[in-house]
């Protein structure tokens, strides 16, 4: 006997959306007035505002302020159904999603599962590194940082103490840059007060980037300024280097250089997070589904993909759109309209991307922004970019209450030079025992 998940049949075409990230959320919203039943499946009961994960990791804002329960977001949307479940497989022939709570039938399936960290097959590094893809990751990093200092108090071997106080961040994209900047602020204003017994001149923050510049994809001005700011804040920006291995203690670079750290943050490559059951030919080399200009997955009539997991390969865009919030949201909105048209038997409208620009913040009063307004480019760095960054992020957070909490947190931090509560609450990364790393001198 097959086990079906219990979801009422409303008699309307059922759109099953897998994943409630930026794309999935916009899609569900866009379907609110359509004659469909929307079933959102996500493994969490909340949406995560990923751009602020680095602030959760650095105690800048509370985890709860950047996540919002789906049931609350769509409280007023009558055609919305939510199921907290893991997707295991798709039976495309029978139009069934196989999940941890049973089978879910679909008329239209939208895959919005996003991306996951890419360790390029290095499983030891995958085990030992901390990623920044979920609020659980970010809280783990916060707990680990604070716990490291508590442990550093108990050691006298200089290399051991430094391995606990030093941080290596891999990847010079926005996450890496923002995290490095935030850590440098904590080092200056907060940690020395909390841990008076430690010498924070010993705390080093490395930002390792494989290419020759930070914030690849942004303007040269943005790349240069962000590096200048970070270096002014005492971050060691190491360009043109790749991390080859990390065992939880020793970082080895392709230049032969080694670093000792118990905390390596992996903010480098990402790859699509596909689901099982679709034809292999639909998937491109970077694990993204090949979709047409209507976000339809290659080879399927009623399966769609949006956001990071979708590669809309066109002549102008041989790589698909960048894996960012903006394309995901716009695709979600567009697909919502198109599904309505599809059901009504009307012709679909092709997706057109409106690039509004990108930005990254480095720290107090310092950010870089490449904006596009009415097809004109505005590049700005420093205080003005920082204000724009804050404004844009604040209005993008889901929920008035969360917005208010984040604003209050930011104002508090700005005027007091203090951050949120430095709490070790929940999971933290367990270090390799000191004894197992005492042969470190041989490596040096």
Residues that bind a copy of itself in the complex, under the rule CB under 8 A: 5-6, 8, 44-46, 62-64, 67-69, 71-72, 75, 81, 83-84, 101-102, 135-136, 146-147, 150, 153-156, 193-195, 197, 399, 401-402, 404-405, 408, 412, 420-426
Neighbours of 298 (CB within 10 A): 18
Between residues 155 and 387, which has the closer beta carbon with respect to a copy of itself?
Answer: 155
Question: 13: exposed, middle or buried (C-beta count within 10 Å: 0-12, 13-18, 19+)?
Answer: middle
Coil, strand or helix at 219: coil
Token pair for residue 143? 């707990």
- Closest approach, Cβ 423 to a copy of itself, in A, equals 5
- Closest approach, Cβ 250 to a copy of itself, in A, equals 25
CA gap 178, 418 in Å, rounded: 17
- Closest approach, Cβ 226 to a copy of itself, in A, equals 30
- Closest approach, Cβ 67 to a copy of itself, in A, equals 6
CA gap 122, 133 in Å, rounded: 18
Between residues 209 and 419, which has the closer beta carbon with respect to a copy of itself?
Answer: 419
CA gap 396, 390 in Å, rounded: 10
Phi, psi of 138 (to 5 degrees): -65, -40
- Closest approach, Cβ 203 to a copy of itself, in A, equals 16
- Closest approach, Cβ 217 to a copy of itself, in A, equals 32
Instruction: Quote the DSSP letter at residue 431.
Output: P
Between residues 72 and 232, which has the closer beta carbon with respect to a copy of itself?
Answer: 72
Between residues 79 and 334, which has the closer beta carbon with respect to a copy of itself?
Answer: 79
Q: Which runs of E-coded beta strand occur in 173-215?
A: 205-208
Between residues 75 and 315, which has the closer beta carbon with respect to a copy of itself?
Answer: 75
CA gap 169, 148 in Å, rounded: 16
- Closest approach, Cβ 350 to a copy of itself, in A, equals 36
Phi, psi of 118 (to 5 degrees): -110, 115
Q: Is the four-CA dihedral 216, 218, 219, 225 of positive or negative sign?
A: negative
Between residues 45 and 244, which has the closer beta carbon with respect to a copy of itself?
Answer: 45
Token pair for residue 186? 């904590």
Between residues 141 and 303, which has the closer beta carbon with respect to a copy of itself?
Answer: 141
CA gap 197, 323 in Å, rounded: 43
Token pair for residue 115? 């991306």
Instruction: Quote the DSSP letter at residue 107.
Output: S
């Amino acid at each position: 006997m097959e086990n079906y998940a219990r979801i009422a049949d409303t008699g309307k075409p059922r759109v099953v959306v897998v994943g409630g990230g930026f794309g999935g959320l916009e899609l569900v919203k866009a379907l609110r007035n359509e004659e469909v039943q929307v079933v959102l499946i996500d493994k969490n009961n909340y949406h995560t505002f990923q751009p602020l994960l680095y602030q959760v990791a650095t105690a800048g804002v509370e985890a709860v302020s950047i996540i919002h329960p789906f049931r609350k977001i769509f409280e007023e949307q009558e055609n919305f159904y939510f199921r907290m479940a893991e997707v295991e497989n798709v039976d495309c022939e029978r139009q069934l999603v196989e999940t941890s709570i049973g089978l879910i039938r679909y008329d239209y399936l939208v895959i919005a599962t996003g991306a996951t960290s890419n360790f390029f097959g290095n499983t030891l590094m995958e085990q030992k590194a901390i990623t920044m893809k979920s609020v659980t990751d970010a809280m783990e990093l916060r707990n680990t940082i604070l716990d490291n200092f508590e442990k550093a108090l108990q050691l006298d071997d200089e290399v051991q103490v430094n391995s606990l106080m030093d941080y290596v961040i891999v990847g010079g994209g926005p996450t890496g840059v923002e995290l490095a900047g935030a850590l440098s602020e904590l080092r200056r204003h907060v940690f020395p007060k909390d841990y008076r017994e430690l010498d924070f001149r010993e705390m080093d923050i490395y930002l390792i980037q494989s290419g020759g510049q930070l914030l690849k994809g942004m303007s040269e001005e943005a790349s240069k300024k962000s590096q200048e700011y970070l270096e002014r804040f005492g971050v060691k920006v190491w360009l043109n280097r790749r991390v080859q291995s990390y065992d939880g203690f020793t970082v080895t670079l392709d230049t032969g250089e080694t670093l000792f750290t118990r905390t390596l943050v992996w903010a480098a490559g990402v790859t699509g997070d596909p689901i099982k059951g679709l034809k292999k030919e639909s998937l491109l080399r970077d694990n993204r589904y090949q979709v047409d200009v209507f976000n339809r997955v290659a080879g399927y009539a009623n399966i769609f993909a949006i956001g990071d997991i979708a590669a809309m390969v066109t002549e102008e865009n041989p790589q698909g759109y960048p894996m960012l919030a903006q394309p995901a949201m716009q695709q979600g909105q567009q697909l919502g309209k198109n599904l309505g048209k599809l059901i009504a038997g009307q012709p679909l409208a092709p997706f057109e991307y409106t690039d509004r620009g990108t930005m990254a913040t480095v720290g107090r009063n310092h950010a870089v922004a490449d904006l596009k307004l009415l097809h004109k480019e505005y590049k700005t760095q420093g205080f003005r970019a920082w204000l724009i960054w804050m404004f844009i992020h604040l209005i993008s957070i889901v929920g008035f209450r969360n917005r208010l909490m984040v604003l209050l947190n930011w104002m508090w931090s700005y005027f007091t030079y203090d951050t949120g509560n430095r709490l070790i609450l929940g999971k933290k990364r367990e270090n390799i025992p000191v004894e197992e790393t005492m042969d470190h001198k041989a490596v040096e």
